[in-house]
Structure 1
Amino acid sequence: MFVDSHCHLDRLDKTTEELSELLTFAQRRGVEHFLCVCVSVGEFPNMLEKVQGLANVSVSCGVHPLHQDEACDYDTLLNMARHPDVVAIGETGLDYFYSADTKAVQLTSFVDHIKVANELNKPLIIHTRDAREDTIDLLKQYKNPETKGVLHCFTESWDMAQEAIELGFYISISGIVTFKTATELQEVVKKIPLDKLLIETDSPWLAPVPYRGKQNQPGYVREVGEFIAQLKGISVEELAAVTTQNFYKLFAITPTSLR
C-alpha cells in the first residue's frame, strides 16, 4: 500500500463530498493514507474543516515560504500547531527562486517553524529551492537533535540530500521525477537510501506522466512510486512497503489507528 506524504486537498477545487470520491479512487489504487499540508496558518481552520470528515487524512500546520504576505508570529503558529490533529510543522522553508525579495521574512519564519517543531516534538515539512546553504545552516543552528523532518518535492543536488539525511531528514519525491527533463533528479533518486525515501503528489500540482498537464490528485502517487521502483531496480511492492513504513515512522502515525 502507498501513502501520499504531501498533498493539498483544500487546494483542489472540490467539495468535501467530491474529495471523498477522489480519496476512494486513490484507495482503490492502493493509497491508504494522505497528509494534507497547510500553506497558510490563516487558512488552517478552513483546511481543517474541509478534511475533518475524510477518512485516513492527517494534517500539518505552517506558512509556505511563498506565502509570506500571510506570515504569522511565533505564538500564533505555536498555538495553531498544538491542535491534536496536526502531525507536522509546515510546510515551511526557503525559496529564493521565486521570491528572493522576501528573503528576510522567509528566514525569520523558517526559524520560528524550527523552534515550534522543537517545542512540540513534531517533524518539519520543508520546501527549499535555490536556498541550499541557508536551509542547511539554519537547520544545523536551530534544530534540536531529536527534531526530524522531510525535504519535500525535492529537486536539489545529491550533496544537499546527503546533508539533510545526516541531520535526520527524509527526502520526498514528487511526480517531477517522471518528467523527461528530470534526468539529474532521477540520478539523485537512485542514490537516496530506501529507508530515507518518501513519495508524494503535491497535488493539485505537478501531475506525473502520463497525467502531466492535468490537475494532480492523491491517486496518482502510484505512478510516482512505480517510476521510482523502476529507477531503483526493485519491485513496486517493496517501494510501496518501505516508503509507507518510513511515513508512519516519521510522522508517528499508527497504521492500526486508520479509520
Structure 2
Amino acid sequence: MLIDTHCHLNDDRFRDDLDEVLRRAEAAGVAAVVVPGVDVASSERAIALAERYPQVFAAVGIHPEALDRVTERDFAAIAALADHPKVVAIGEVGLDYYWNVAPPEVQQEAFRRQMVLAREKRLPVIVHNRDATEDTVRLIEEMRHPDTFGVMHCFTENIEIARRCIAAGFYISYAGPVTFKNADRVRATAAQVPLVRMVVETDAPYLTPHPFRGRRNEPGHVRLVAERLADVRGLALADLAHTLTDNARRLFPRLTLP
C-alpha cells in the first residue's frame, strides 16, 4: 500500500479518463492521493475531486507561478478553503526563481504568509522549490516552530540540504527523477535520508518515471518510485511501502484511509 503525496489530478489532462486512472492506481496498491492546488480555482477543483472520490484528498494554496495575478481576496479564499474536512495541507507553495513571474521579495512574502496560515490551521505545508534552494531553506528555518511542518516536494537536492529541511520539521519527498538514468546524485541522497522522514509522490501528470518517460504520468506510477527507492536502500518493497505509508499518515494528520 502506498500514498501518492502529490498528484495534480485537477489538471485538464485527466479530464477524460480520471476513473480509469484511479482504477489503475488502486490496482498498483495506491490507497490515497493528495491533490494540491496552485491557485484558488485549482484548489477548488482539488476539493471537488476529494468530495467525489473517497481516496482523494486536497491541498490548497497559491503557487509562486500564480503570484502575478493574485489578490487579497485569493489569500482569504485559500484560508476559507483550508477548513474543508478533506483538505490535508497548504500547498503547493514556495519559491520559483526559474520562471520568476513575481519578484523574489513578493514570492518570499507569499510563502511566509501561507506558512503562517498552515500553522494557524495546524496543517502541513507542501513546498515547491525551483532554482531558489538557499532562500527556500532559509525561510523554513526562519519560520521554524513546533506547529510548522511539511514536505519538500520532488526533492532533488543534496544530503546537507535534506538535513537542514528535516531539522526544520520537514519530510523529504521523492518523485520520478529518482528513477532517471542520470540521477545518481538524487539516488545518493535518497540512500542517506532517514527512512522515517521519506515519502513518495508522482507530481503527475509531470515527471513520469523510467521506463515511461515522455508519457503522461499518473498516480499508479508512484509504485515505480517506491521500487527504485527500495533498490537504493536495499529493502523489500513491502517493507519500504509500509514505512512510506506510515510517514505519509504522520505528515498529513487529517488523511484517513478509506
Instruction: State the TM-score, normalized to the length of structure 1.
Output: 0.93
Judge conservation of contact 1:149–1:168 (CA < 8 Å) in 2. Answer: yes
Question: Could you give the per-residue CA deviations for residues 142-189 of structure 1, whole angstroms, max 9, x where no partner exists?
Answer: 342222100010112211110000111100000011111211111111
Question: Could you give the per-residue CA deviations for residues 72-104 of structure 1, whole angstroms, max 9, x where no partner exists?
Answer: 434333222222221100110111133275322
Task: Give the match for residue 135 of structure 1.
Answer: 136
Greater Cα shift, 6-15 or 93-102: 93-102
Judge conservation of contact 1:115–1:143 (CA < 8 Å) in 2. Answer: no
RMSD: 1.7
Judge conservation of contact 2:172–2:199 (CA < 8 Å) in 1. Answer: yes
Structure 1 pair 44/219, CA: closer, same or farther in 2 (3 Å)? same
Judge conservation of contact 2:86–2:254 (CA < 8 Å) in 1. Answer: no
Q: Which ranges in structure 1 are unaligned for 5 or more consecutive residues?
A: none
Q: Which residue identity is paired with 1:107?
A: Q
Give the share of equivalent positions with the same residue, in percent.
38
Judge conservation of contact 1:198–1:243 (CA < 8 Å) in 2. Answer: yes
2:176 matches 1:146: no
2:82 matches 1:81: yes
User: C-alpha separation between the residues in 1 aligned to 2:29 and 2:12?
Assistant: 21
Judge conservation of contact 2:36–2:43 (CA < 8 Å) in 1. Answer: no
User: C-alpha separation between the residues in 1 aligned to 2:236 and 2:139?
Assistant: 37
Task: Give the match for residue 244 of structure 2.
Answer: 243
Task: Give the match for residue 191 of structure 2.
Answer: 190
User: C-alpha separation between the residues in 2 aligned to 1:32 and 1:70?
Assistant: 35
Judge conservation of contact 1:152–1:172 (CA < 8 Å) in 2. Answer: yes
Structure 1 pair 235/212, CA: closer, same or farther in 2 (3 Å)? same
Task: Give the match for residue 218 of structure 1.
Answer: 219
Structure 1 pair 48/186, CA: closer, same or farther in 2 (3 Å)? same
Judge conservation of contact 2:38–2:92 (CA < 8 Å) in 1. Answer: yes
Q: Aligned pairs, how many?
A: 256
Judge conservation of contact 2:63–2:94 (CA < 8 Å) in 1. Answer: yes
For 1:223-234, what aligned pairs fall within 5 Å after superposition? 223-234=224-235
Instruction: State the TM-score, normalized to the length of structure 2.
Output: 0.93
User: C-alpha separation between the residues in 2 aligned to 1:72 and 1:80?
Assistant: 16
User: C-alpha separation between the residues in 1 aligned to 2:149 and 2:166?
Assistant: 10
Structure 1 pair 30/12, CA: closer, same or farther in 2 (3 Å)? farther
Greater Cα shift, 104-113 or 226-235: 104-113
SS in 2 for 1:192: coil
Q: Which ranges in structure 2 are unaligned for 5 or more consecutive residues?
A: none
| Cα drift, residue 109 of structure 1 | 0.9
User: C-alpha separation between the residues in 2 aligned to 1:98 and 1:187?
Assistant: 28
For 1:107-122, what aligned pairs fall within 5 Å after superposition? 107-122=108-123
Task: Give the match for residue 20 of structure 1.
Answer: 19
User: C-alpha separation between the residues in 2 aligned to 1:70 and 1:230?
Assistant: 43
User: C-alpha separation between the residues in 2 aligned to 1:98 and 1:190?
Assistant: 30
User: C-alpha separation between the residues in 2 aligned to 1:245 and 1:218?
Assistant: 18
Judge conservation of contact 1:153–1:174 (CA < 8 Å) in 2. Answer: yes
Task: Give the match for residue 64 of structure 1.
Answer: 63
| Cα drift, residue 70 of structure 1 | 3.7
Judge conservation of contact 1:177–1:185 (CA < 8 Å) in 2. Answer: yes
Task: Give the match for residue 42 of structure 1.
Answer: 41
Q: Which residue identity is paired with 2:6?
A: H
